[in-house]
Amino acid sequence: MIHILAALAVLGLLIAIHEAGHFLAATGQGIRVSSFSIGLGPRLVGWRRRGVEFALRAIPIGGYVAFPDPESEEGIRPQDPDLFQNRPLPQRALVIAAGVLANLIFAWVALLAQGAVYGVPDGVAAAAGIVVTGVSPGSPAAVAALQPGDHVVAVNGQPLGEGNEAVKNLITAVQTRPGSPLTLQLEGGAGLEERQVTPRLDEEGTGRIGAQLQPYGTGRYRPVENVGEWLTTASRGFWTITANTLAGYGQLLTHFQATARQLGGPVRIVEVGAQLAQQGGASLLLFTALISINLAVLNALPLPALDGGQMLLLLWEGLRGQPLPERWTQAVNRLGFALLLGLVGVLMVRDTSQLGIFKAWLSS
C-alpha cells in the first residue's frame, strides 16, 4: 500500500507542478487568477487567499488554473487590463506554455536529485528472469499482449536463469524457433501466468518477436566523480527519455491501432509507479522524471483542451489579427474536454480490469 501511495503522491505532485507553472506565469505578469485546482469534479478541500480559490478535487486526473469571467462574475470590468483575454498575445502564450516548461524542468531536477542522492547508474544486481522494456507495434510480442515491465522467468517450462544469461537464453529460443509457438511464463502480482508468442521469421532467417529485453533486477549506483559527470548523466537521461517519449507518440500516429492497445491510463501509471517504488528511491525518481516528461509532451499536443490546442488557437488568432469568437473557443474546449475525460475513463476501466489483484478477485 505504501508504494501505491508513493506513486499517487508523485502523480499528484507532477500535476501540481504543471498547474503551478501556469499560475506563476500568470501572477508574475500581473494577470488575475480566480482559482487553482488539483483534480476535477467536486471540491474536497479548499481555501481562499488573495482572491484566489485553491482546491483539491475528487477526480485525480489533472487540474486547472481558471481566470475571472466578466460575463459571469460581478464587479469585473470587461476592459480590465489585468484579465487574461486582454493581455498581449505573447504574454498569454507564456502562461499557456509555462505548464509544459515546468514539467520539463522538474524532470531534469528529479534526475539531478537521483544523481546527488544515489549516484550514477553502475549496472544491475541481477535476479531470476528478464524484464520487457519495450514492445514494437504490430510485432508478435504485441500480439501476445506483452507490455513493458513484464517479468519473464521461463520459456517452455525451462527457467531462464539470471542476468545476461537469462536474456541470452530467451533470445536463443526465439531466434532458433521461427514460426513455432513459445510459452512464456510471467511472474506478477497474481502469481505465474502464461503467454503464447510465435516468433516471426526476419529477412536474415532468424526468429524475432519485436521486444526489447534486459536482465531483471535492481539497478546499482555509484557516487558521482565530479560535477561534470553529475550534470552530464542527468542531461543525457533527460534527453533519452524525451526522445523515447516523442518516438512513442510518433508510433501512435503511424501505427495507431497497434500502439493504442499499449496505452496506459492513471491506474496503469500508478501500478507501474508502485512497482518502481518497491525497487527504491532511485527508481521512484526515475519514474518521476519519466511521467513528468510524458505529461509535458501530452499537454503539448495540438488537441482541444490541452495546452497545445490553446497555443494553436493563439496562433490562429495571431494570423487573423483579431481575437477568435468566444463561442468558438468555448465549443472547441468543451468538446476536447469531454473527449479527454472519455479516453481517461476507458483507460481506467481497462487498466483496472488488467490488474493482477483484480484478476485474482474475479477468479476466486
Reading phi first (left if > 0) and then psi (alpha if -120 to 50, else beta), residue 156 is in left
3-class SS of residue 89: helix
pTM: 0.71
Question: What type of residue is 183?
Answer: T
3-class SS of residue 230: helix
Per-residue pLDDT of the chain (364 residues; tens, 9 = 90+): 566 666 677 778 888 999 999 999 999 999 999 999 988 788 999 999 888 999 998 877 778 898 887 776 666 787 888 998 889 999 999 999 999 999 999 999 999 998 998 888 776 666 678 888 778 777 888 888 888 778 899 998 888 888 778 888 888 888 888 888 999 999 876 778 888 999 988 777 788 888 888 778 666 788 888 999 999 999 998 998 888 778 767 765 665 444 445 455 444 555 555 555 566 677 788 888 888 888 888 888 887 778 888 898 888 888 877 776 666 666 666 666 655 555 554 444 444 334 443 333 333 3
Contact 178, 169 (CB under 8 A): no
Report d(CA 146, CA 179) in Å as an integer: 18
Whether 203 sits among the annotated catalytic residues: the reply is no
pLDDT value of position 93: 94
Report all structural domains of the chain as residue ranges with CATH numbers, in order of start: 2-116+294-363 (no CATH), 120-222 (2.30.42.10)
The partner residues of 186 in beta bridges, in order of sequence, read 152, 193
Contact 121, 223 (CB under 8 A): no
Surface-to-core class of residue 206, CB atoms within 10 Å of its CB (0-12 exposed, 13-18 middle, 19+ buried)? middle
Contact 324, 317 (CB under 8 A): yes
Contact 311, 329 (CB under 8 A): no
**How many other β-carbons are positioned within 10 Å of the β-carbon of residue 334?**
12
pLDDT value of position 353: 38
Maximum Cα–Cα distance across the chain:
76
The partner residues of 183 in beta bridges, in order of sequence, read 196
Cell 495540438: give the residue. 302
Q: Could you give the residue ranges of the DSSP H alpha helices within 179-264?
A: 227-254, 256-260
Q: What is the 3-state secondary structure (H, E, C) of 162-202?
A: EHHHHHHHHHHHHHCCCCCCEEEEEEECCEEEEEEECCEEC
Contact 258, 138 (CB under 8 A): yes
Of the residues 19, 71, 193, 225, only one is catalytic, namely: 19
**How many other β-carbons are positioned within 10 Å of the β-carbon of residue 167?**
21
For helices 266-278 and 326-354, what crossing angle results, to 10°? 50
